[in-house]
A = this chain, B = another copy of it.
């Protein structure tokens, strides 16, 4: 795959490769995305209800907490973060989302978005109006199964994150996080060891329940120990085995 040669890939490269209105069957994300297992007619029907968005700039919101729920979104290019807040304004980054991943699944039940989703870089999404999705889902059990499976995957990820937040030390948190990113980049055809951190140190810290300063210090420590090299947002994992051992 061409992208593998690119040492510092950004997910929005994908946006340039794809044309704006590429159909699901021609999309490079096909095998990571919802349509997996759908064929011909079904795929066409799905295509019809999807709106492919114009781009979102860094910091722009896809939706905000309390907005009424209308659509699920799949990241097409770039990346997003979701956050929720306490009543007195403290914020928690609940997730980062990369191409092929769903945003808004936790809104289905409450019928309003439970979080705010913001682009971390220039990004685009596919919008799936939930009503339409249900309509066509009635005659496409496979689509429902896919949705269910996606939800289940996110749920499992969140449980792991609970373990991380509740029981891991700061070093273990960082190591776990880096390896999780690594896996997701690899799944998308990019290098598992060399990639760009599209989120700020602050976002990482917040997501892992740490202070920014702690993240900075541990990144420095990891570099001293030869585990990673870091140049601004570009990171390179130098010793995956020792990183794995550090996850706890």
Residues of chain A at the chain B interface (Cβ within 8 Å): 84-88, 90-92, 94-95, 105-110, 114-115, 134, 137-138, 141, 144-145, 147-156, 158-163, 165-168, 172, 206-209, 247-248
Contacts and interface: CB of A to CB of B under 8 A. Distances in A.
Contacts of A87: 247-248
Nearest to A82: B159
B155 A154 contact: yes
Q: Is the interface of A mostly helix, strand, loop or mixed?
A: helix
A148 B108 contact: yes
Contact of A148 (B151, B162, B207): B151
Given A144-B148, A149-B108, A86 B156 contact: no
Contacts of A94: 159, 162-163
Contacts of A85: 163
A201 to B, nearest CB: 16
Contacts of A107: 152, 156
Contacts of A144: 137, 141, 144, 148
